[in-house]
Amino acid sequence: MLTLVDWLIIVFFFAVLIVIGGVTSRRAGSSSKEFFLSGNAMPWWLLGISMCAATTSTNSANLFTEIIRKNGISGNWVWWAFLLTGMLTVFVYAKLWHRTGAKTDIEFYELRYSGKAAAFLRGFRALYLGVFFNTITSALVILGAIKIGVVMFDISPLAIILITAAVTVVYSALGGMRGIVIADFFQFAVVLIGSVAAAVFAVRLPQVNGVANLFSHPDIVPKLRFLPDFADTDLLVSVFIIPVAIQWWNVWYPGSEPGGGGYIAQRMLSAKNERQSVGASLFFNAVHYGLRPWPWYIVAFCSLLVFPDLDALRAAFPNVDARIMGHDLAYPAMLTLMPAGIAGLAVASLLGALLSTLACHLNWGSSYVVNDVYKRFVNPEATERQLVLVGRITTVCLMVLACLLAPFLESAKTAFDLVLQIGAGTGLLFLLRWFWWRINAFSEITAMAVSFCVAVFFQLVYPHLGGPPVAQWQRLVIGIIVTTVAWVGVTLLTRPVDDQTLFRFCTLIRAGGPGWKKIEARAAALGTPIAQSHEAWPVPSGLLCISLACCAVYAVMFAVGSGLYGYAVRSACLSGVAVIATITLFKVLSAKQSKEG
């Protein structure tokens, strides 16, 4: 149970967040641009930390624990593969997003497409992502809080939901994006300190008996491989081959959208300039994948010795609802064993992860509703004061919807798989729409509708048809194939976007490349040539940077793990690879910047 010291730490944490919200509230209320984009004045390092905080939720620790307990450390390739997506955004798409000058990534649709179809897509996509998807993701985060609360505080899910909602709404609705970004800095620091402290004390538990014993224990050793067992074909395909070969570029997932988007794009659009936007994205991916998760991994491994199976968890926590009892409960279960002070710090770190993610999603979702629905379709003449007011009201409404849904979810991994399935097959379109003139609004509408229908079919219809079992990776591949064939077919069968819209878009983002040659030729023939930047097509040079950056981050990730496992030579070699790749990367970037002037 938590002591007085633990509670004082938690109360202090909440107090700081409320103060931040209060201090930034007046400036946040000055305009919608300030409320949703911090006035486009944020530096790269603060935005990078905010991206890290936004993607670090209570569900993260629970999800990683569930993955490790079931499939070992290599099971994390289901999300490690998204590093490729992140670096693609850094070196190819971050500049393009910033050049749009949009308030939200949904506004992109009426910059890229034209007519009623573009308007419909903008409005529908804003509600689809800002309300539907946002509610699911926020509810999943609250589910993590419920699992922590029922284990550590022995209080009802309703009480946990009400406390979480109250604190999150206060500082996110008051402070807007600026308040959220500043709070993220504080919260991410608490997350790192708390997760490291929890890991240090977890390995000191009598059942674990130190790092050396942990990573040499016969129950742990089979789960330490960075690559899955090649003899286990089903596991190899599901957690490694599919994510690395297909998933990272052809599956949409919040925070890891191919080509960028969502709250990552919102932060890129909040940067001072293009270089700050790129710097923020690069910093985020390096920390998010290379360093941040390891303390949670350590606690997950320790949990296998303390609570080796679900029966052990049930015996330790008999009052927990059987419906939410799962391997992801092992992380909060481990925190109950922490000493006074450390337990409070660990809980505060999880609260920081919870609140930063919720605040991010609330502000992101309300930005869609305000900018892309209310201002665009309901009240185009709305004043800045009205837009901020609607944003604050929407923040509260989204929080209520997430709270209502959260009790009906069960497992972090199940929800993760469902979201992946809904986004299957849409990623390639999000990558190509910047570089292929033929893609239109109907392409996007088709991809969105078909991927959703396939997900609903596998989730609700197929189980009642009596057919053979279909593995999750097989569902994902089927969804990708069906969705891709559908949207490509519709693209080729429908009329392209009108020339004037394409001319304006090309001039605005200066993407270049073979996909725009026909449009550039048309513009030149009409006497309105499209101006290009010094680096007209960022893809070729970007691919080299992506390779070097991924090499550096993966090397850091595995160097840290090898060091913890006790493999000093391997850790040193991987660290050397990371240093060489990083130095080479910055030399390439420096040469590019000099060439671009």
Tokens representing 311? 């029966």
pLDDT attached to residue 130: 85
pLDDT of 26 higher than 80: no
> What percent helix, strand, coil does the chain show, rounded to 5?
80, 0, 20
10 Å CB burial of residue 116 (0-12, 13-18, 19+) is exposed
Distance CA 130, CA 349 (A): 27
Distance CA 448, CA 125 (A): 9
Mean pLDDT of 77-101: 88
Q: Indicate the helix (H) or strand (E) that contains 591.
A: helix 568-596
Q: Which among 4-8, 34-38, 414-418 has the top mean pLDDT?
A: 4-8
pLDDT attached to residue 492: 95
pLDDT of 487 higher than 60: yes
Q: Identity (one letter) of the amino acid at 492? A: L
Mean pLDDT of 320-336: 82
Distance CA 513, CA 516 (A): 6
pLDDT of 416 higher than 80: no
Angle at 530 between CA 262 and CA 543, to 5 degrees: 50
pTM: 0.83
pLDDT of 447 higher than 70: yes
Confidence of residue 444 (pLDDT cuts 50, 70, 90): very high
pLDDT of 35 higher than 90: no
Q: Among the listed ranges 119-128, 205-214, 266-275, which one has the minimum average pLDDT value?
A: 266-275
pLDDT attached to residue 373: 93
pLDDT of 272 higher than 90: no
Mean pLDDT of 569-579: 95
pLDDT attached to residue 516: 87
pLDDT attached to residue 367: 87
Are 419 and 441 in contact, with CB atoms under 8 Å apart? no
**Residue 481 neighbours by CB under 8 Å, 6+ apart:** 425
Mean pLDDT of 121-139: 86
Tokens representing 186? 């504080």
pLDDT attached to residue 29: 67
pLDDT of 152 higher than 50: yes
pLDDT attached to residue 596: 59
pLDDT of 131 higher than 80: yes
10 Å CB burial of residue 296 (0-12, 13-18, 19+) is buried
pLDDT of 236 higher than 60: yes
DSSP for 21-88, written as a single string? HHHHHHHHTT-HHHHHHGGG-B-HHHHHHHHHHHT--HHHHHHHHHHHHHH-GGGGHHHHTHHHHHHH
pLDDT attached to residue 240: 92
Tokens representing 452? 């959703």
pLDDT of 597 higher than 60: no
Confidence of residue 321 (pLDDT cuts 50, 70, 90): confident
pLDDT of 266 higher than 80: no
Q: Which among 36-50, 103-117, 281-295, 553-567 has the top mean pLDDT?
A: 553-567
pLDDT attached to residue 534: 46
Mean pLDDT over all residues of the chain? Answer: 85
Mean pLDDT of 432-438: 93
Distance CA 259, CA 263 (A): 13
DSSP for 237-296, written as a single string? IIIIIHIIIIIHHHB--TT--TT--HHHHHHHHTBSSHHHHHHHHHHHHHHHHHTTTHHH
**Residue 589 neighbours by CB under 8 Å, 6+ apart:** 545
pLDDT attached to residue 180: 79
Q: What is the per-residue burial (b if ≥16 Cβ within 10 Å, else e) of 446-484?
A: bbbebbbbbbebbeeeeeeeeeeeeebbebbbbbbebbb
Are 366 and 396 in contact, with CB atoms under 8 Å apart? no
pLDDT attached to residue 537: 65
pLDDT attached to residue 414: 66
Q: pLDDT tens digits, residue range 330-377?
A: 988 898 888 877 777 777 777 777 777 788 788 888 888 998 999 999
Q: pLDDT tens digits, residue range 505-548?
A: 988 888 778 888 888 888 888 877 776 654 556 677 788 899 99
